[in-house]
């Protein structure tokens, strides 16, 4: 008898997920079957902690939120980055796969994984870049800075989650004032979307904090701020994420700040995604004269 109840439960579960997938597809959700399955699994986990075990009601609520185009990561509270699990939610930017290009480029440019590097992460958000970097460089230590106190709470939670509390500090404040000294590596995924383009982005993006997206009228305001920080603090390499089509303009910003550009790295879609900056010197003048 108990086996029959379990079989019926499995059939009901498949039906619930299939119906949810149909509703999500109608709402224009990409990968509706995957989202439905992940939402169901999350609802089941959550219902186990409820005395009433209200799994079906919880699932229906989660599906409704996704139909309203709330990001899946906000609903589940989790997002994978660099094969690591990060806590996310309203008030912080959801990590994107293209940002992993920064970590890939760091590994390529810094072959000594045992080096005791000092790394600064500007606009740390969830601290996904800082955590991923520290995981790859076990003797490195880092500081993540973000103007958003809410983002800093997520960042601190993720640093602790990955056991890096002794090697990483999270600090709330202005990028230009939050750090001093010389840093071996400076990472940044700054806002780089043109202000006028944000309204036309995917509905899910509208849930994310505008300050983490808005790069000003030309999308380059935050990149200019990053260049000023690099000019003052960079002792090794700077790796800065840029938007599609910003390679030339962002390179010129770096060079005009006295920072030679050591090339760009492309993401998996072939888009120039990361500017590699070096400390200033005579080479900066040469690049400025010849173009990036």
Q: Give the domain CATH number at 185.
A: 3.40.50.150
Higher pLDDT, 240 or 50: 240
What range does the domain containing 42 cover? 2-68
Amino acid 45: pLDDT: 81
Query: Within this chain, do residues 237 and 179 fall inside the same structural domain, yes or no?
Result: yes
Residue 159 pLDDT greater than 90, yes or no: yes
Same domain, 138 and 228: yes
Structural domain includes residue 25: yes
In a domain, 114, yes or no: yes
Quick check: is 279 in a domain?
yes
Contacts of 192 (CB under 8 A, 6+ apart): 215, 219, 220, 222, 223, 241, 242, 243, 246
Is 283 inside a domain boundary? yes
Residues 242/273, Cβ–Cβ less than 8 Å:
yes
**Residue 198 located in a structural domain:** yes
Closest CA to 151 of 192, 191, 119, 201: 191
Asked which of 10, 45, 68 is the last residue of a domain, the reply is 68
* Helix or strand run (H / E) with residue 235: strand 234-241
Any residues with CB less than 8 A from the CB of 100 and at least 6 apart, and which? 81, 82, 132
Task: Label residue 178 by pLDDT band (50, 70, 90).
Answer: confident
Q: What is the pLDDT of residue 13?
A: 78
Residue 193 has pLDDT above 90, yes or no: yes
Cα separation, 49 vs 135, in Å, equals 32
Confidence of residue 50 (pLDDT cuts 50, 70, 90): low
- 50/181 same-domain check: no
pLDDT of residue 54: 56
pLDDT (average), residues 124-138: 98
At 8 the pLDDT is 45
Choose the weakest-confidence range: 41-55, 87-101, 219-233: 41-55
* 106 lies in the same domain as 165: yes
The answer on 85 and 62 residing in a single domain is no
Confidence check: pLDDT of 90 > 50: yes
The residue length of the chain stands at: 292
Q: Are residue 240 and residue 265 in the same domain, yes or no?
A: yes
Q: Please give the pLDDT value at position 18.
A: 93
Do 179 and 233 belong together in one domain? yes
**pLDDT of amino acid 258:** 94
Of all residues in the chain, what percent carry a pLDDT higher than 70?
88
* pLDDT digit string, tens, across residues 201-256: 999 999 999 999 999 999 999 999 999 999 999 999 999 999 999 999 999 999 99
Residue 73 falls within a domain, yes or no?
no
Among 45, 68, 91, the domain-final residue is 68
**Which residue, of 17, 33, 68, is where some domain finishes?**
68
Same domain, 64 and 83: no
Q: Verify that 149 and 63 share a domain, yes or no.
A: no
Give φ, ψ of 38 to 5 degrees: -65, -35
Q: What is the number of structural domains in the chain?
A: 2
Where residue 16 falls among pLDDT bands split at 50, 70, 90? confident
Residue 183 sits in the same domain as residue 212 = yes
Asked if residue 255 is part of any domain, the answer here is yes
């Amino acid at each position: 008898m108990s086996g029959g109840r379990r079989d019926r439960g499995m059939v009901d579960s498949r039906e619930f997920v299939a119906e949810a997938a149909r509703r999500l597809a109608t709402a224009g959700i990409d990968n509706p079957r995957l989202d439905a399955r992940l939402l169901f699994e999350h609802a089941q986990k959550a219902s186990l902690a409820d005395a009433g075990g209200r799994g079906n009601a919880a699932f229906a609520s989660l599906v409704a939120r996704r139909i309203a185009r709330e990001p899946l990561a906000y609903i589940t509270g989790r997002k994978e980055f660099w094969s690591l699990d990060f806590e996310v939610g309203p008030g912080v930017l959801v990590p994107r796969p293209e940002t992993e290009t920064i970590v890939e480029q760091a590994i390529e440019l810094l072959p000594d994984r045992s080096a005791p590097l000092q790394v600064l992460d500007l606009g740390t958000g969830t601290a996904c870049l800082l955590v991923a970097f520290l995981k790859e460089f076990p003797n490195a230590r880092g500081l993540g800075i973000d103007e958003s106190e809410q983002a800093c709470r997520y960042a601190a939670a993720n640093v602790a989650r990955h056991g890096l509390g002794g090697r990483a500090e999270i600090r709330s404040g202005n990028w230009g004032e939050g750090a001093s000294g010389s840093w071996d590596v400076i990472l940044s995924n700054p806002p780089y979307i043109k202000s006028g383009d944000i309204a036309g982005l995917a509905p899910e993006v509208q849930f994310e904090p505008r300050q983490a997206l808005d790069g000003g009228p030309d999308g380059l305001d935050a990149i200019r701020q990053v260049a000023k920080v690099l000019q003052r603090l960079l002792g090794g390499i700077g790796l800065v994420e840029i938007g599609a089509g910003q390679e030339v303009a962002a390179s010129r910003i770096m060079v005009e700040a006295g920072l030679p550009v050591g090339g760009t790295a492309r993401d998996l879609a072939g888009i120039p995604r990361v500017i590699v900056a070096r400390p200033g010197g005579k080479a900066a003048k040469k690049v400025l004269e010849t173009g990036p």
